[in-house]
Amino acid sequence: MSTDPGLRRLALGTLLSAFRGEQAPPWAVDLLAEGLAGHVLFGFNIVEREQLAALSASLHAAREGVLIGIDEEGGDVTRLAHRLGSPYPGNAALGALGDPAITRRVYRTIGAELDELGLNLNLAPTVDVNTADDNPIIGTRSFGADPQAVAAHAAAAVLGLQSAGVAACAKHFPGHGATLADSHLELPTVNISTGVLRERELPPFVAAIEAGTKSIMTAHIRVPALTGDAPATFSRAVLVDLLRDELGFGGVVVTDALEMLGAARYAGGVPAGAVLALSAGADLLCIGADVDEALTLACADEIVAAVRDGRLPAARLEEAAARVQALAAWTRSGARTDREEPGLGYPAALGAIRIEGSVDRAAAPLIVQLESESSIAAGRVPWGLGPHINGTEQVRVVADRADVAQLRDRAGTRPIVVVGRNVHRLAGARTLVEALTETHPVTVVEMGWPSSWRPTGARAFITTWGASHANGRAAAETLGLAA
């Protein structure tokens, strides 16, 4: 049986694909001309501004109304600045600073930069309330642990982005902040009542909706009280009954990447997940990062087959495609009321610094940076004090393999500054830090999400609330070590 061209175009119109390389391959452009909603760009697509502007222009040239998305959260999650680190503090630092007006200005500046480069959908802000210190995937991407404070910053971020003509996407609905597992790797469970969900997780999404967010991203998490065994991405109770009917959201529901195992393993593959998500009420399906022509077409073909065999009502597909088209039309007509404020991120990062104890700025220390893995969401982005220090000696060690005696000898009479991300849960880090405090004045610089742990005997504990380029410079200035 031949494929109905109109039905195929509708199916393509619900898909956000991706591709490898610094230029778009022919298939990626051809599918846009055939109705593909758009593409998401990642660090592997970006070398520098002129190249990125040319790439986005080539995609827009394929068809009017193309969406070009990116995860530009600032802070630890950056695609534009993946080679050096973001010049903006992330959400945790902005939350610690406590001024939603600054949050709005930072996101307005990010939005203006994206708009200038031809990108019109920012898969940000993250508005999850991070209530789990050991959350492996949210952490410093969150504005904080207080629902009302997070809500204020969520609204500010949405308003800032969209004042620059870039659509915001509040994520990850109905709230990923209480998880202890990474939905890239498995399906996390948040076993809370609907009452706790409404009181703790939902206020930032309500605020984002009231601020006019054009899109909201789903979470691949299971909330048994609402979703049963299924991820929220595949739950009509979450996407329609709660988000649409109860909260009144009328914009585009975007899925988190369907290639993530929290979705793909449950669905039995990415194409099957695309159908389940549409059936549940999603409109725009983010396939993922590891995407090619074959997978994109497989998703479109499965959607078409589902309409034909009755698994997916044609009216639901038409509704989803229409919402995506309306979003694309807004990005073309939206007023650009505000522009960039260069340099804004660095003073904001400095203002977010929190110091417990006393910092000795007189003595040159030995800096010990603890190696750590990057989260899948952030990817490998440079971090730490290295680019910012004034010639002060720095060594990098793996905490559970470090030789304490060698570090003590190397430091000699100098104090020691230990720099890490999520130090409290890094293997061997607590033992190492506390061993060093027995013989040396030690300052800990926490560039991840802090816990209640503080090392016995440490002189100072400094929290930067993130590991961006801006956060690193702020830490170096706080220590008196800035170049």
List residues with catalytic annotation.
184, 256
**According to DSSP H, which parts of 15-142 are helical?**
26-33, 49-60, 91-97, 100-116
Q: Residue with structure tokens 């991120």?
A: 345
- Between the alpha carbon of residue 28 and those of residues 32, 33, 188, 331, the distances in Å are 7, 9, 33, 21
CA distance linking residue 408 with residue 428, whole number of Å: 17
Burial of 301 per CB tally in 10 Å (0-12, 13-18, 19+) = middle
Inter-axis angle of helices 5-12 and 314-333, nearest 10: 60
CB 164 within 8 A of CB 149: no
The answer to whether 204 and 141 are in contact (CB under 8 A) is no
Contact in structure between 416 and 390 (CB atoms under 8 Å): no
User: Which residue in 24, 33, 39 sits closest to 5, CA to CA?
Assistant: 33
CA distance 165 to 324: 16
**How many CA atoms within 13 Å lie on the side-chain side of 282?**
31
Question: Rounded distance, CA 139 to CA 146, Å?
Answer: 13
CB 202: neighbour CB atoms within 10 A?
A: 24
**Count of CB atoms situated within 10 Å of the CB of 182:** 20
Radius of gyration (C-alpha) of the chain in whole angstroms: 23
d(CA 100, CA 91): 11
Question: Which tokens hold the place of 97?
Answer: 């600073």
CA dist 186 and 189 (Å) reads: 10
Question: Which residues does 294 contact at the CB level (< 8 Å), separation at least 6?
Answer: none
Question: What distance in Å separates the CA atoms of residue 39 and residue 28, rounded to the nearest whole number?
Answer: 8
